[in-house]
Structure 1
Amino acid sequence: MLFIKRSGKHITIAQVYVDDIVFGSTQPGETDQLVKVMQQEFEMSIIGELTYFLGLQVSQTKEGIFISQEKYAKNLLLSKFGLESAKDARTPISTTSKLLKDEKGTSVDSTMYRSMIGSLLYLTASRPDIMDTVMLTGQEMLTTEKVHQADVSLSEKI
């Protein structure tokens, strides 16, 4: 759940996921005030500056806040599906590509295929450039064949 408080040109946010809370503000002192209020209401500990949350790596610099899922993609996603040695793809498959039914195709485990698509959907949080490809390959979940799983495997090593 995301809570947003706007005060003039400033914004304060609190993101709650199960028992984790991430919050911040563009207004000096507002975060400290939020911490005091939260600690009065809830038993909680402050870990410090956000660096990793729900598979998102967060880097805060003077230039801005940068979000990445490199650790998720490399360590979890690729090893989960045995793609560590797969060839890197510079870009996902073309958005004009059409995935066609392979009449002579070999069926594959649809549970594994759905898991691959789900994992890739989560990756689109920091990689919106792969959304078209993920959605295109996700359309084949009812008639999953080896050719479709190969398409996902190619787009997954990003």
Structure 2
Amino acid sequence: MKRSMFHNHLGFEDHKHPNHVYKLKKTLYFLLSHQYERGNVDKTLFIKKVDSDVILVQIYMDDILFGSSNAKLCEDFVKAMQGEFEMSMMGELLFFLGLQMKQSKKGIFVCQSKYCNDILKKFEMEACKAAGYKGVDEAGPEVDQTKYRGLIGSLIYLTASRPDIMFDICLCARF
């Protein structure tokens, strides 16, 4: 690593030791040093298996989401993290990236009804009624392309949890 990479970044330059590069104390290094493995697809997902149990840790910006098949693994994770970092517990996960989470003894239910309602409000479509596809209406009113692209982008994000609407959204995206 070349020192010049950090030259203009405040906080990285030590005038007493100008040729030293410091390893940052980050959650990533902490997890890897505690036998967590990085996910193959999502590099912000960390997994640790202990006997027949597993703990999953998802890092997103300055948030950490975690869950386990064993409550003791969660307790141990919290103790270890709070011993190493300044961390506050926010409680049970209710919303994350447009997803609503409902946890029960039967499992975790994930939905996007709030996200859908927010889309309807944002694009002023709350009073719209469902209709079948009737083809392109050449004589209809001019469409605001920026607003239309925003709507399609919002709907494409929705397909992450609703693959059943993928074909319809992609059809709309063509226009």
TM-score, reference length from structure 1: 0.71
4+ residue runs of structure 1 moved beyond 4 angstroms? 102-107
Measure, in 1, the Cα distance between the counterparts of 2:168 and 2:50. Answer: 39
Q: Which residue of the partner structure matches residue 125 of structure 2?
A: 83
Percent identity between the two aligned chains: 50
Residues 1:6 and 2:37 aligned together:
no
Unaligned runs of 5+ in 1: 141-158
Equivalence map 1:68-147=2 (5 Å): 68-74=111-117, 76-88=118-130, 107-140=142-175
Question: RMSD of aligned C-alpha atoms?
Answer: 2.4
Measure, in 1, the Cα distance between the counterparts of 2:113 and 2:59. Answer: 23
Q: Helix, strand or coil: the match of 1:47?
A: coil
Look up the equivalent residue of 1:117 and give its one-letter code. Answer: I
* Post-superposition offset of 1:69: 0.9
Distance 1:127 1:34, change over 3 A: same
Q: Which residue of the partner structure matches residue 20 of structure 1?
A: 63
Q: Which residue of the partner structure matches residue 55 of structure 1?
A: 98
Measure, in 2, the Cα distance between the counterparts of 1:66 and 1:126. Answer: 11
Q: Helix, strand or coil: the match of 1:29?
A: helix
Q: Helix, strand or coil: the match of 2:129?
A: coil
Q: 2:89 aligns with which of 46, 49, 68?
A: 46
Measure, in 1, the Cα distance between the counterparts of 2:169 and 2:52. Answer: 36
Larger radius of gyration: 2
Unaligned runs of 5+ in 2: 1-43
Measure, in 1, the Cα distance between the counterparts of 2:130 and 2:105. Answer: 32
Q: Helix, strand or coil: the match of 1:120?
A: helix
* Post-superposition offset of 1:32: 0.9
Report how many aligned residue pairs link the two structures. 132
Measure, in 1, the Cα distance between the counterparts of 2:82 and 2:170. Answer: 42
Measure, in 1, the Cα distance between the counterparts of 2:124 and 2:63. Answer: 30
Distance 1:135 1:28, change over 3 A: same
* Post-superposition offset of 1:57: 1.0
Distance 1:106 1:87, change over 3 A: closer
Distance 1:51 1:77, change over 3 A: same
